[in-house]
């Protein structure tokens, strides 16, 4: 109940702010779905210039409070994930406390451990987005904080030396999200954003910590994106004043700093989490990418419709409310993608208790939305348990079969639309004559056990072990449609 009251209060507050944002924005040029027809999606590109359709997991919550900052996720776990679901993407959690354990000192041994794991993904053709994770600012903000629910210590992200609660209280809470409105946690955020005027150095440290990460991964083709901050929260400043103010300023500063060492990776920005994750409008404003050539900013919002987050099944009135939430969320995501300059979208997190009724429909719906939006997906999370693909004992959940579907992974041009069933994939795209690498498609064993039929393109290779089909279109048509089915 306490959590419901908290979320209701925040939602009510955000609704007021959201109304303000919507009213303020009605005089701006419309883009995305608010303009009547959604702008065509744009995509992250791989080193061969192919458009990437990214499908994968967050890995993992278990790293948040681990002394070495590493997830309980082995190379064998990755092998199992690929074999079962054919993923090509990971949102890999890193943390400021691990990157910069003392002011100005960057832990190269930690970055070595991250790099080793990035190597596991790279060897298997994955792309990686590094996510500077935080929940309720920092473990240091919450003395002995633990809900006792088995999830481990509460709070992660910032190093202790960057945590200034100014002696304000942080009382034990029965839900981790409730710590966000504890006075000491709010003050730690206020000091980070320097809305107190006392800690201008913290944002500079944050940007420089990102530069240390980017320096390490600038030349690594597997690392395509940097998610600048997980689920930002403004402390005592919420809604569009926060998003257009200190949050946008931090994003701009960090982007500029990353570009001192890395010109090519995408910089991903997320809105205020509370409210926007539940479908309210974001007030985030444009970030300018100082790199030469096209902008490489992406928008990486999370999706947690309130009924799902509160543990409802996807049925009855909760399903109706969830559907309405998803519609509103998508319209706003497409609008913000336009505000940011028509940038690619990655759903940085969404997740659901896979033991609840309606799970297959809910997860299927979100993947459908992502497909239509041209958005990448990182499901929350790969950690064992009812929300993940595997339980603690290794049993598969309903997630595995729901995720394991055909999809185009890398397209030699710009995707226009695609669809898939268990035994069929159809992709329409505008071929880019400058791209010589073939289009790559993942086809699960179940629907494609043997030879395949391809219409509209020539087969370059079909590897039944990796389940990857590569094709090349012939001629110089502006548009190509490729259809793939199992051969009889
Ligand atoms: O699922 C995670 C839960 O076990 C932890 O107690 C909690 C606090 O660290 O974080 C949960 O993961 C959240 C993620 O860090 C941020 N987005 C929402 C996720 C689900 O609540």
Q: How close is the Cα of 271 to the center of ligand 1, in Å?
A: 17
The values of phi and psi at residue 89, to 5°, are -150, 150
Contact assessment for residue 409 and residue 439, using Cβ atoms and an 8 Å cutoff: no
Dist. CA 382–CA 380, nearest whole Å? 7
DSSP 239: S
Contact assessment for residue 418 and residue 425, using Cβ atoms and an 8 Å cutoff: yes
Predicted pLDDT of residue 476: 87
Angle 359-373/316-339 helices, nearest 10 degrees? Answer: 20
Residue nearest ligand 1's atom 14 by CA: 135
Pocket test for ligand 1, best of 97, 138, 148, 151 (most atoms within 8 A of CB): 151
Predicted pLDDT of residue 151: 54
Q: How close is the Cα of 157 to the center of ligand 1, in Å?
A: 12
Q: Using one digit for the tens of pLDDT, what is the confidence trace for 84-103?
A: 999 999 999 999 999 999 99
pTM: 0.94
Predicted pLDDT of residue 335: 98
Predicted pLDDT of residue 21: 33
Among the listed residues 7, 49, 105, the one whose alpha carbon sits nearest the alpha carbon of residue 305: 7
Predicted pLDDT of residue 20: 32
Pocket test for ligand 1, best of 57, 66, 135, 300 (most atoms within 8 A of CB): 135
Task: Please give the C-alpha separations between residue 135 and each of 206, 225, 270, 273, in angstroms, as whole numbers.
Answer: 16, 20, 14, 11
Secondary element (H or E) of residue 240: helix 240-242
Predicted pLDDT of residue 345: 98
Q: How close is the Cα of 219 to the center of ligand 1, in Å?
A: 31
Is residue 132 helix, strand or coil? strand
Predicted pLDDT of residue 450: 98
Class of domain 419-486: mainly beta
Does ligand 1 come within 6 angstroms of the Cβ of 151? yes
Strand order in the sheet with 346-347: 297-299, 266-269, 223-227, 127-132, 89-94, 55-59, 376-379, 346-347
Predicted pLDDT of residue 147: 47
Does ligand 1 come within 6 angstroms of the Cβ of 177? no
Residue nearest ligand 1's atom 2 by CA: 61
Dist. CA 54–CA 264, nearest whole Å? 18
Predicted pLDDT of residue 171: 93
Dist. CA 319–CA 307, nearest whole Å? 8
How do the domains of the chain map onto residue ranges? 5-404, 419-486
Class of domain 5-404: alpha beta
**DSSP string of 264-284?**
SSEEEE---STTTTTTPPP--
**DSSP string of 319-383?**
HHHHHHHHHHHHHHHHHHHHHTTS--BEE-EE---TTSTTHHHHHHHHHHHHHHHT-EEEES--S
Among the listed residues 306, 297, 301, the one whose alpha carbon sits nearest the alpha carbon of residue 282: 301
Predicted pLDDT of residue 186: 98
Q: Using one digit for the tens of pLDDT, what is the confidence trace for 448-458?
A: 999 999 999 99
Sign of the CA dihedral with 91 first, then 97, 103, and 109 last: negative
The values of phi and psi at residue 320, to 5°, are -60, -45
Q: What number does the ligand 1 atom closest to the CA of 381 have?
A: 1
Q: How close is the Cα of 115 to the center of ligand 1, in Å?
A: 24
Predicted pLDDT of residue 36: 41
Q: Pick out the chain residues at pLDDT < 70.
A: 1-38, 145-152
Q: How close is the Cα of 190 to the center of ligand 1, in Å?
A: 22
């Amino acid at each position: 109940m306490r959590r419901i009251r908290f979320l209701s209060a925040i939602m009510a507050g955000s609704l007021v702010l959201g109304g303000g944002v919507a009213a303020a924005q009605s005089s701006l040029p419309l883009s995305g779905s608010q303009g009547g027809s959604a702008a065509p999606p744009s995509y992250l590109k791989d080193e061969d210039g192919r458009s990437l359709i990214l499908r994968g997991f967050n890995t993992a919550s278990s790293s948040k409070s681990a002394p070495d900052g590493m997830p309980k996720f082995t190379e064998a776990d990755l092998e199992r994930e690929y074999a079962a679901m054919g993923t090509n993407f990971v949102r890999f959690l890193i943390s400021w406390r691990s990157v910069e354990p003392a002011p100005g000192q960057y832990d190269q041994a930690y970055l070595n451990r991250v790099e080793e794991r990035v190597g596991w993904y790279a060897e298997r053709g994955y792309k990686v987005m590094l996510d500077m994770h935080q929940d309720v600012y920092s473990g240091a903000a919450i003395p002995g904080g633990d809900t006792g629910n088995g999830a481990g210590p509460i709070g992660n992200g910032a190093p202790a030396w960057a945590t200034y609660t100014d002696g304000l209280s942080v009382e034990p809470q029965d839900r981790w999200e409730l710590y966000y409105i504890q006075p000491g946690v709010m003050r730690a955020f206020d000091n980070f954003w320097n809305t107190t005027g006392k800690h201008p150095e913290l944002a500079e440290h944050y940007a420089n910590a990102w530069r240390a990460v980017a320096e390490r991964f600038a030349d690594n083709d597997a690392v395509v994106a940097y998610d600048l901050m997980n689920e930002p929260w403004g402390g005592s400043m919420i809604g569009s004043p926060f998003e257009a103010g200190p949050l946008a300023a931090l994003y701009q500063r960090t982007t500029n700093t990353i570009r001192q060492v890395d010109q090519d990776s995408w910089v991903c920005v997320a809105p205020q989490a509370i409210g926007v994750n539940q479908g309210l409008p974001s007030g985030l404003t444009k970030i300018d990418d100082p790199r030469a050539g096209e902008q490489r900013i992406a928008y990486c919002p999370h999706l947690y419709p309130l009924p799902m987050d509160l543990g409802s099944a996807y049925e009855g009135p909760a399903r109706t409310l969830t559907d309405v939430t998803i519609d509103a969320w998508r319209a706003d995501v497409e609008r913000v993608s336009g505000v940011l300059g028509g940038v690619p979208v990655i759903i940085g997190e969404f997740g659901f208790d896979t033991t609840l009724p309606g799970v297959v429909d809910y997860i299927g719906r979100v993947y459908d939305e992502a497909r239509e939006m041209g958005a990448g997906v990182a499901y929350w999370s790969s950690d064992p348990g009812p929300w993940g693909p595997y339980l603690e004992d290794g049993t598969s959940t309903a997630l595995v079969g729901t995720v394991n579907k055909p999809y185009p992974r890398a397209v030699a041009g710009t995707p226009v639309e695609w669809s898939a069933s268990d035994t069929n994939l159809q992709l329409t795209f505008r071929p880019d004559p400058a791209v010589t690498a073939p289009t790559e498609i993942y086809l699960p064993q179940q629907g494609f056990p043997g030879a395949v039929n391809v219409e509209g393109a020539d087969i370059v290779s079909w590897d039944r072990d990796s389940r990857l089909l590569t094709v090349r279109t012939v001629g110089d048509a502006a548009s190509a449609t490729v259809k793939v089915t199992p051969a009889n």
